[in-house]
Amino acid sequence: ANALVVSPRLTYQGSTSNSTVDGVTAFGTNPLNTTSTLNGTHNGGYNASITTTYRRMLSTNGRTIAATVNVDGSNRWNDGSLSSSNTFTKPLDSTYRFDQRSDGGSTGRTIGGQLAYTEPVGERDMIQLSYEPSFTDNSSLKTTRNLDSATSTFTRVDSVLSSNFINGYSTHKLGALYRLRGESTILTFGGSYQRASLSGEQLFPNSLRVERTFDNFLPTIMIQQKYSAASNLRMFYRTSTNAPSI
C-alpha cells in the first residue's frame, strides 16, 4: 500500500503603530526642559511552507519505508521613523532636534527531510532507522539614517544602529529507535547522532566571519501504559537542538 500526503501552508502578518510622548521637567513652577517625541513603525511579512510525505508498505508484517521533504521560506520587512525635540531653559535657552529613519528586513529558507525505514522484530517488536538532513540560510539587513541638516535629507548612516548579516546552518542526523510491545505496555527507546555546521558573516558595520561545528547525541525514550480502553498514560523524554537565529 502507498500513501502520499502534501500539506501546504501560507501565513501573512502586518502591523502599524504610532506613539507620541510629551514631557515637562520643572523645579517648582519653573520649567527646566520640555520634550516631544514621535515614533512610528510599520512591519510585515509572510511564511510559506510545504511538506510532502510518501509512505510505502513493503510487507504485511510492518516493514515500511517513508520519505518526507520540507520546504520553508519567510520574508519580513519593517520601516520606522523617530523624531524628537528637546528644549532646555537652564542655564541658557537651547533646543536640540533629532530626526531618524530606518528600514530593513530578513529572509530565510529551509530545505529538509527524513528517510525512515521500519523493520519488524519478532511478533511484536520493531526497529526504525532514519536519516534527517536540513539546510537553512538566513539574511538580515537594517539601515538607520539620520537627518542631514545641510541638505534636509536622510543620508547620514548611523553605523551603531545599522547592520548586515548572513548565516547558514546545516544538520545531518542519523537515528535508531527500538519499540518493545507488551500486553499493556509499549516502551520505545533510542537516539540520534547529529552533526551541525554553522557559518555566519557580518558585512556591516564591520567585517566578521565565524565557522563552527557541533556534535550531539540526542536520546529519546517513551513509555505508554494502557489501563483500559478509555485511559492510558504516556511519558516522554526527548532531546533536540535549536538553530541560531538573527
Can you give the pLDDT at residue 144?
A: 95
Query: For the CA atoms of the chain, what is the radius of gyration?
Result: 28
How far is it, in rounded angstroms, from Cα 102 to Cα 145? 6
Q: How confident is the model at residue 112 (pLDDT cuts 50, 70, 90)?
A: very high
Cell, residue 110: 529551509
Can you give the pLDDT at residue 66?
A: 96
- What is the share, in percent, of the chain residues with pLDDT greater than 70? 98
Can you give the pLDDT at residue 246?
A: 57
pTM for this structure? Answer: 0.81
Are 65 and 57 contacting, i.e. CB atoms less than 8 angstroms apart?
Answer: no
Q: How confident is the model at residue 59 (pLDDT cuts 50, 70, 90)?
A: confident
